[in-house]
Amino acid sequence: MHDWALDEEGTDAVIAHALDLDIIFFDTANGYSAGTSEAYLGKALRKHASRDRAVMACAVYVTKGDLSSKAIHREIDGMLRRLATDYLDLYIIHRFDYGTPIEETMEALNELVKAGKVRALGASVMYATSFRTCRKSPRTTVGTL
């Protein structure tokens, strides 16, 4: 997808070397190289390490619309399939979605933890106060800061 992105063979070599150096935290996302980042990472980790030796984090971008419950569940299932694992150590929402009620997003994330698909949750590229200081706005369900 990008000139600087590694192919499957290159990814395998980098992951093997990282594990040899005791690097165990790997972060990817559903939007990186159209999902091949997850597929290549999952394959390399299966080849070179037991699942409990690696910490896998994935950021879910608002790639297919929003952070609705439906989108969150669809994206985690795709990530787990591409990574060939039953769970993520860390699932990160990568933008605040002002168009979906925060309660819906948070309930969907909680369901993933309860189901064992995700061990921990995170958020990036947003203000932490977004989760507590939203006020109603005529243009969105949740509001603006």
The residues that are catalytic are 32
Nearest Cα to 41, choosing from 75, 74, 79, 73?
Answer: 79
Phi, psi dihedral angles at 91 (to 5 degrees): -115, 120
62, 122, 103, 86: CA torsion to nearest 10 = 80
Burial 92-105 (b: 16+ CB within 10 A, else e): bbbbbbbebbbebb
If you search the block for the tokens 């690097």, which residue do you land on?
Answer: 23
Strands (DSSP E) contained in 39-139 are 55-60, 88-93, 118-123, 135-137
Output the six-digit token pair for 60: 């879910």
